Amino acid sequence: MYRDVVAVAKSFYRVSMVLPELRLRYLHGYVYGQMVINHISLQCGRLDSHLTSGVILWALITSIYLDMRRRGFAVRAVRYEDLVTRPLDMCRVVLDYCHLPASLAQLAVRAFDVDSQRSSVLAKSVMGRFKEPQLTSHRKTSLNGLLMKYGMPLIGEPGIIEGTLSPSE
């Protein structure tokens, strides 16, 4: 499952507010070491905004998914936004893809009524307390440059990834 890159970046920032290791990295503003995953190389350097780490994480995960598809793995993606706006339809599509009975869709939709993280520091009630970083036009331009470098959809574009399941299938 994936979601809009800006939403991921903002969520990752909020998570960093409750997980000390991530928070320290934000405060120091550095990515330590060098990481190469699927031809995406990250060098040590200062992050230019609170959204950059989330955008990099999204690009890495998306790159891994696309690489798996190119290698012939039978993987498909589900967009979070589709799941939220059309939960019953999307549950039917996912169940159909998994060769499971569509009759389970209504039961699956009921699972969305419960915060799966309700007893943890990642509960909606906790995460909702933190102010999200704003996406200014300068940050958008900078982040789009990063996404372009990695061959990913840009902020402001639909951002539908290859192999995404949709209700129209």
Q: Which of 118, 10, 15, 3 is nearest to 61 (CA)?
A: 3
Is residue 83 within 8 Å of residue 108, measured between CB atoms? no
Helix (H) or strand (E) holding 45: strand 45-46
**N-to-C CA span, the chain:** 17
Q: Record the pTM.
A: 0.78
Rounded distance, CA 51 to CA 108, Å?
32
Quickly list H helices, 29-168: 52-70, 80-85, 87-97, 105-110, 124-127, 137-149
Tens of pLDDT, residues 114-128: 888 888 888 888 888
Q: What is the mean pLDDT of residues 110-115?
A: 88
Per-residue burial over 25-39, b = 16 or more CB atoms within 10 Å of its CB, e = otherwise? bbeeeebeeeeeebe
Quickly state the pLDDT bin for 46 (edges 50, 70, 90). low
Whether residue 44 has pLDDT greater than 60: no
Which residues does 41 contact at the CB level (< 8 Å), separation at least 6?
34, 35
Quickly state the pLDDT bin for 32 (edges 50, 70, 90). very low
Rounded distance, CA 82 to CA 135, Å?
23
Q: What is the mean pLDDT of residues 164-169?
A: 85
Per-residue burial over 136-146, b = 16 or more CB atoms within 10 Å of its CB, e = otherwise? eeebeebbbeb
Is residue 144 within 8 Å of residue 137, measured between CB atoms? no
Beta bridge partners of 30: 46
